[in-house]
Amino acid sequence: MHLILAARRTEQMNALAQDLLTKHGTNCHIVTIDLAAPDAGRLLMDEIDRLGVNVELLVNNAGIGLIGAIENATPEEVQRMLNLNILTLTDLTYRILPGMLERGHGAIINVSSVAAFQPVAFMGAYSASKSYVLHFSEALWAEARSRGVTVLGLCPGVTTTEFFERAGAPGWLDKHSSQTTFKVVKTALSALEKRRQYVIPGWKNYFLSLLVRLTTRRTAVNESKRYFRSGKRNNKTSE
């Protein structure tokens, strides 16, 4: 297996590449790039074309979170988040998916969130961006499934990563149960094999997504306020 790793943090990618090579014999090509930049999708695709490889599995898992009150967020922070969560993801998908359809095989995993199923106070733009990712992925799944290509919307809940520390809610993981990244990845790959349109890792998260359908939208969004109120004075972003 050969991987192309693309992100800003070169040191972390080098460490990951060495670990994958040692444990699994996986060769990694590293591309240091700011995926939140407006032209990131084209630049990354130029590098892939230069390598002369076909992408068999695209994982759009780069993302930014922004938690806080509206007046504390800058338009630039919100724009950067939308660039990464929506625009670059969409751009890469449209650049790579046609080749998969032409070859008659391939897969795309777009990382959404359990927050995609409802509006979330104090992170309105983030939850809305993840709703876009879910709906976009499901629509492409319907278009591509008969042509040998699977597009999966992955909707994890609270996961043990740096997300909340960097997004404006430090210590949030200490107060709430979370799942491991291994659990999320294992669930995603299993769902991909079954050619599912979306998957929510963890039965509690799945139940939470169903609860939104059983109550009014007003109740759901008002209830969300108590979860992220602690981060309303401290806006940050996370990649």
Q: What percent of the chain has pLDDT over 70?
A: 86
Q: Name all domains of the chain by residue range, CATH numbers in brackets.
A: 56-231 (3.40.50.720)
pLDDT of residue 163 exceeding 70, the answer is no
Look over the chain and give the mean of its residue pLDDT values, rounded to a whole number: 87
Confidence band for 51, pLDDT divided at 50, 70 and 90: very high
* CB burial readout 209-233, b (16+ within 10 A) else e: beebeeeeeeebbeebeebbebbbe
**First and final C-alpha spacing in the chain:** 25
pLDDT band at 205 (very low <50, low <70, confident <90, very high): confident
| CA max distance for the chain | 52
In this structure, what token pair is assigned to residue 222? 């008002």
Q: What is the spatial distance between Cα 149 and Cα 141, in angstroms, rounded to a whole number? A: 8
The reported pLDDT for the residue numbered 179 is 77
Q: Which helix or strand (DSSP H or E) is residue 175 part of?
A: helix 172-175
Q: What is the mean pLDDT of residues 218-225?
A: 86
The confidence score (pLDDT) of residue 233 equals 41
Q: What is the pTM of this model?
A: 0.87
At 16, which amino acid appears? Answer: L
Of the listed ranges 48-62, 119-133, 157-171, 190-204, the one predicted with least confidence: 157-171
| 162 vs 92, residue with greater confidence | 92
pLDDT band (50, 70, 90) for residue 239:
very low
Average pLDDT in the 43-62 region? 96
Give the mean model confidence (pLDDT) for residues 49-78. Answer: 91
pLDDT at 149: 98
Cα separation, 31 vs 112, whole angstroms: 23
Q: Is the pLDDT of residue 123 over 50?
A: yes
Higher pLDDT, 172 or 129: 129
Of 220 and 43, the structure prediction assigns the larger pLDDT to 43
Residue that wins the pLDDT comparison between 175 and 15: 15
**Res 91: pLDDT:** 98
Q: How confident is the model at residue 217 (pLDDT cuts 50, 70, 90)?
A: confident
